[in-house]
Chains A and B, each alone.
Chain A
Amino acid sequence: MKKLIILGAGTSGTMMANHLQHHLKNSEWSIDIIDEREEHHYQPGYLFLPFDIYTPEDIIKNIKDFIPKGVNLIQGKIDKINHNENMISMADGSKNEYDILIIATGAKIAPEEVEGMKGSEWQKSVFDFYTFEGALALRNKLREWEGGRLLVHITEMPIKCPVAPLEFAFLADSFFNHKTMRDKVEITFVTPLSGAFTKPKATEALEHLLNEKDINIESDFAIESVDNENKKIIDYGGREIPFDLLVTIPTNKGDEVIARSGIGDELNFIPTDKATLQSKAQKNIFVIGDASNLPASKAGSVAHFEAEILTENILNFISGKPLNETFDGHANCFIETGNGKALLIDFNYTHEPVEGTFPFPGIGPLRLLKETRMNHMGKLAFRWIYWNMLLKGTHLPFVSSQMQESGKHFD
C-alpha cells in the first residue's frame, strides 16, 4: 500500500483530498490529510464580517464535514517535513511516512514583522481583517466608530487576495454612506505599489473608482513602523501618514512549519515549478495554493484551477509519465465595489485583466472590468459554490482551468 499525505485541510488541501479520493484506487493508495484546526473558514467572508454583511455562522463550518470518506483526517500539529526521508514528524512525536506529499499549508499574516504594528493600539485603532478574530474586532469597532481618518493599508506584497484591500475601501465608502456619516470619514488607500493594482488596465479602472468614491491614494509607501502614541505610520523614506483608524494588511508569510523544515524562501513560501506545481526541493513533493512562491495571485480561484492540473500531474507522476506544464496562473476574482455592485477580473501569468464578457465570449452574462449588479450577485453566489462545489472538487461548468482569450478585448 502506498501513502499520499496532504498537509493542510484548507481550501487547497480539501479540494485535493476530494479530487484524489476519486482518482486513486483505494486498494493501492491510502490518503492522509493533516491539519490541527477544528474549523474550516470561508476566508473571502472575512471581508464582509466587519460591515455586518455576513455573520460568523456564514463563514465557519466543521473541517471534518468536507473531508471525503476514505481519506484519513489527522488532527494534530506538524513539527517538520523531513523531505530527505519522505517523512512527516508530528509535534506529539509520532512519525508518518509518505510516497507523495502535497503541501497546502497556506499563508497567514505576520503583523510582528513591522515595528509597532502589534503594539498598544492593536485592535484598538489598528486592525487587520485577514483573520476571523481581526475581522470580528473590527466589526465591533466600526459599529461604534464616530469617524476620522481611515487608512486602508497594504504592508508588502505578496498578500492573499490582492484585491481585498481595495474592496475593503469601497465597502467602507458604501458603509459610511449608509450610516449617513461619510462626510465625517476621510478614506485613504495606502499601498507599496505605484498604483491601485499591479496590472495597468485594472489599475486605471480601479483608480477611476477610487476617485469617484472620494478615496485618496498614497502609493509607493514602504512601511517601516507604526507610531502608536502619535497614531501615524512611517515609511523607510521618512514619509508619515496620520490615522484615527488603521486597517492594515500585515506581511503575509507561509506557515512556520515550512521554515522549520528548511524548504521555504525568506517569507516561508515554497519554491515551486510555476507550470507543473512540483516543488523544487523534491520530485515527490507538490505544492498548491498560497503555500507556493508562484507568481500568481494567492486566491481560492487560483487554487481551484491549480487543483485540476495538480490532480492530473499526481496521476502522471504515479504512472511515470512526464508532468503537464499547463498551469498558466489563471485567476478569476470578483471585486466588490460597494452599493451592490462588483467588478470581475480574469487573468493569468501573461495576460492582464481587460474588458470583455465571461464565461461565454460575447454574451456574458458577467462583464469583465465593469461595475455591474450581476457581478455582485456572482460574488454572493460564490459562497454557496465554495461550500457546495469548489471544496468537493466539482468542476465549475463553463469555467476552464486555463484562461480563455476569446471574449476579451486585448489591444
Chain B
Amino acid sequence: MEKTIAGKAVAVNEEGYLTNFAQWEPRVGSEIAKEANIDLSPRHWEVINYLQGEFKNESPLSIRKIGKSGVVDIKEFYQLFPNAPLKTSSKIAGIPKPASCI
C-alpha cells in the first residue's frame, strides 16, 4: 500500500516498513522516528547508516551483530531505540523487517 510520509508518497507493507528502499529519504526516516516518539540525534543516524550499509551488502542483521559491530553496544542500542530496537531502527532506516528469523 501507499502512504504519504513527510510529504512523500512511499510504498509500505501492513506493518509500516518501506517496501522500496529507493524511496527512502532522511526526512522520511525522521518522520517515522517521530511516530515512534524518537528524536533522531547524530548517534541515531550513525546506527541508521550502518544498518543501511549492511542491508545493501545483503548481510542479515541481528541484535548480536549490531552489538559486535563497533558502532553501538546493545545497551545503547536499546536506549536509542527503546523496546524493540532492531525493528524500530529498521523501520526508520527504510529497510525490511529483519528476517534473521526463519
Binding site for B on A (CB under 8 A): 156-158, 162, 192-194, 198, 220, 222, 224, 236-237, 251, 266-267, 293, 295-297
Contact = CB atoms under 8 A, between A and B. Distances in A.
Given A158-B100, A266-B65, A296-B102, A236 B75 contact: yes
21 contacts: A156-B63, A156-B64, A156-B100, A157-B62, A157-B101, A157-B102, A158-B101, A162-B101, A162-B102, A194-B87, A198-B99, A198-B101, A220-B87, A222-B74, A236-B63, A236-B78, A237-B83, A266-B65, A266-B68, A295-B102, A297-B102
Given A156-B62, A237-B78, A266-B65, A220 B84 contact: yes
Interface in B63-102: 63-65, 68, 74-75, 77-78, 82-84, 87, 99-102
Nearest to A235: B78
Contact of B63 (A192, A295, A297): A192
B26 interface: no
B59 to A, nearest CB: 8
Contacts of A156: 62-64, 100
Question: Chain B interface: which size bin?
Answer: 10 to 19
Q: What 4 A-B pairs come out closest when comparing CB atoms?
A: A198-B101, A220-B84, A236-B78, A157-B100
B83 A220 contact: yes
Contacts of B65: 266
A194 B102 contact: no
A267 B64 contact: yes
Nearest to B97: A194
A241 B102 CA distance: 25
A158 B101 CA distance: 6
A266 B62 CA distance: 11
Contacts of B101: 157-158, 162, 193, 198
B53 interface: no
Nearest to B59: A265
A293 B99 CA distance: 13
Contacts of A220: 83-84, 87
A193 B101 CA distance: 7
Contact of A198 (B63, B84, B102): B102
Contacts of B74: 222, 224, 236
Contacts of A222: 63, 74
A267 B68 CA distance: 11
Contacts of B99: 198, 295
Nearest to A193: B101
Nearest to A221: B84
Contacts of B100: 156-158
Contacts of A192: 63
Nearest to B76: A236
A3 B77 CA distance: 48
Contacts of A297: 102
A237 B87 contact: no
B22 to A, nearest CB: 21
A293 B62 CA distance: 13
A293 B77 CA distance: 24
A237 B102 contact: no
A224 B64 CA distance: 11
A183 to B, nearest CB: 33
A156 B78 CA distance: 16
A246 to B, nearest CB: 20
B82 A237 contact: yes
Nearest to A349: B102
Among A157, A162, A295, the one with the most B-chain Cβ atoms within 10 Å of its Cβ is A157
A408 B100 CA distance: 25
Nearest to B77: A236
B7 to A, nearest CB: 29
Contacts of B75: 236
Given A220-B83, A237-B83, A266-B65, A158 B102 contact: yes
Contacts of A293: 60
Nearest to B100: A157
A287 to B, nearest CB: 16
Given A236-B78, A237-B82, A295-B102, 7 more contacts: A194-B84, A198-B102, A220-B83, A220-B84, A224-B74, A266-B64, A297-B102
A158 B78 CA distance: 21
Q: Which of B68, B84, B102 has the most chain A CB atoms inside 10 A of its CB?
A: B102
